[in-house]
Homo-oligomer: A and B are copies of this chain.
Amino acid sequence: MVTIKDIAKLANVSHTTVSRALNNSPYIKEPTKRRILEIASQLNYTPNYNAKNLVMQKSHTIGLFFTSISNGTSPIFLADTIKGVNSVIGQEFNLFVRGIDDYDNFSSINNMRFDGIILMSQSEVDNTFIYHVMQKKIPLVVLNREIQEQGLINLLSNDEVGARQAVEHLIAKGHKDIALIEGKKGFKSAQARKDGYMAALIENGLLIHKEYQVEGHYDMQSGYTAMNQLLDLNRPPTAVFCSNDDMAIGAMNAVFARGLKVPDDVSIVGFDDIGFAQYTTPRLTTVKRPVEKISIEGAKRLLFAISKAPAQSVKLYENTSLIIRDSVKDLKEEKR
């Protein structure tokens, strides 16, 4: 490994001067600087970040954390987030990706190791992690889940509104018996989407049936099971709002398995707009969530907080958008 001392020797200067040249300090003459830089590049010098970080009390790394990498996080969600963050941070930063549940204690999460942390939060169990990070004074961006705490940047997708719009869309199409397949218990997103569903029903004066709200776990299998449960009812719903697309697809297949049709017999709406939603048969009407957008925005703000401003409280909602495709039937049209 070539160090600044090696360069210093060849350039006949002190290693301090080399350091200055490398960090383009103003206190150096242009010619000497050029000479040093030339030697450095010829020697193929790369700084030792461990040494640099040690003295500068920095780490040059951004930590991207999920509630869990392997549990309940859909591949698309994971990928979109990483893509978003990755596209923003430059070469000079390390990007570390891990699940909170990979740690049994957070002692290794400190400001020596992380210049900043982005948390894609999916559950309240993340709170102890959040407190830990804040207490360590590490700049923090929390994505996807609302945090009341001050002193952090909080970027959210407006799931409740999105869910409400989806259900209102069903109502507008003449549906009255609208069921809900819920998301994974304990996930804030599950609650938000349920809230939106309820709000739409209530505001439109529709009855709320307990048996129309069935449990799900955000995976296809649970959507399949839940839909079967709904179809077994004496009075099955005419439309089902699924808390994510994976479950919507599972639900669709449960319908097909009984020889029924979507949307003729049951209308279905999903949530997320995963890539496949437009390739199901029929194409799935769903709510698009701005995951990548949020990740990008979050990364940008974190970088800014690290380099320029001290941590400030920010809360920002990015809107979802209803993507209307073919999985919802217009009951009004039928009556004509």
Contact of A75 among B75, B95, B246, B250 (CB under 8 A): B75
Q: Is the CB of B112 within 8 A of A86?
A: no
Contact of A80 among B48, B61, B75 (CB under 8 A): B75
Distance of A65 Cα from B110 Cα, bound (Å): 25
8 Å CB interface, A248-307 against B = 249-250, 252-253, 256, 275-276, 279-281
10 further contact pairs, Cβ within 8 A, besides A48-B54, A246-B275: A46-B108, A49-B108, A50-B53, A73-B79, A74-B79, A79-B79, A82-B97, A86-B98, A95-B97, A249-B276
Interface flags, A37-60, vs B, CB<8A=1, else 0? 000000010101111011000010
Residues of B within 8 Å of A12, CB to CB, are: none
Q: Is the CB of A112 within 8 A of B276?
A: no
Q: Does A107 contact B (CB under 8 A)?
A: yes
Distance of A265 Cα from B322 Cα, bound (Å): 34
Residues of B within 8 Å of A246, CB to CB, are: 275
What's the number of copies of this chain in the assembled complex?
2
Residues of B within 8 Å of A75, CB to CB, are: 75-76, 78-80, 275
Residues of B within 8 Å of A276, CB to CB, are: 220, 249, 276
Q: Is the CB of A98 within 8 A of B98?
A: no
Q: Does A70 contact B (CB under 8 A)?
A: yes
Residues of B within 8 Å of A102, CB to CB, are: 86, 91
Q: What are 19 A-B pairs at a CB distance below 8 A?
A: A44-B107, A46-B108, A48-B112, A49-B112, A49-B113, A50-B59, A54-B54, A61-B96, A69-B82, A70-B83, A70-B87, A75-B75, A76-B76, A78-B82, A86-B97, A86-B98, A220-B275, A220-B276, A220-B279
